[in-house]
Chain A
Amino acid sequence: MNRRVLLIEDEPNIAEAIRFLLSRDGWQVGLHADGTDAIDQIRAERPDLVILDVMLPGRSGMDILRDLRAMEDMQDLPVLMLTARGQLRDRDMAERAGVSRFMTKPFSNAEVLTAVRDLHAQAGRA
């Protein structure tokens, strides 16, 4: 089982924490810190799951998600969105953009792990 996750996050400490959590759970974790070429990175790595920050340098996570969902082969890719901007408006926007799961920072590690596992399991059944 080689589960791969791509983590797009510009805060190095947060990225490090999530990488640590998911590696320990058996995931192969790819890190990317920039919004501009995030989609290229996804295309290149073809991960099983993407964890996406909203406020990224270069390009907003929302825009990336919308573009992603417009691509035929990316419509079923599970995307877990993490953001420090936890307003209802942001959640609505994310859901309209086609997010699989939306979580606000700060999160509990267990929540993140559960969410990642659930998303992967759903994708596997589908």
Chain B
Amino acid sequence: MSLDRTAVAKIAKLARLKMEPERLDAMTSELNSILSFVEELQSVNTDNIPPMTSVMPMKLRQREDEVTDGGKPDAVLKNAPQRQGDFYTVPKVVE
């Protein structure tokens, strides 16, 4: 499988990465070299082999339903690049 420039631009869009045209060319060839490197996996016989879901045999632990957190807007907001009162703000979204 080989990616062309248009496909790479689409992936960049999906990943929300601004990519200048010249960078896009370099990225296309880098991605293709990585993809051809990992191509060897296709030759491994994985019939009836389940994909790994948890590397250590563990059960998902569950916590009790108690309010133990929240009530600290300062900790939540103090690193915000922009805020209005206790809201984060972003450029206006038109739906």
A binds B: no
A residues with a Cβ closer than 8 A to B are: none
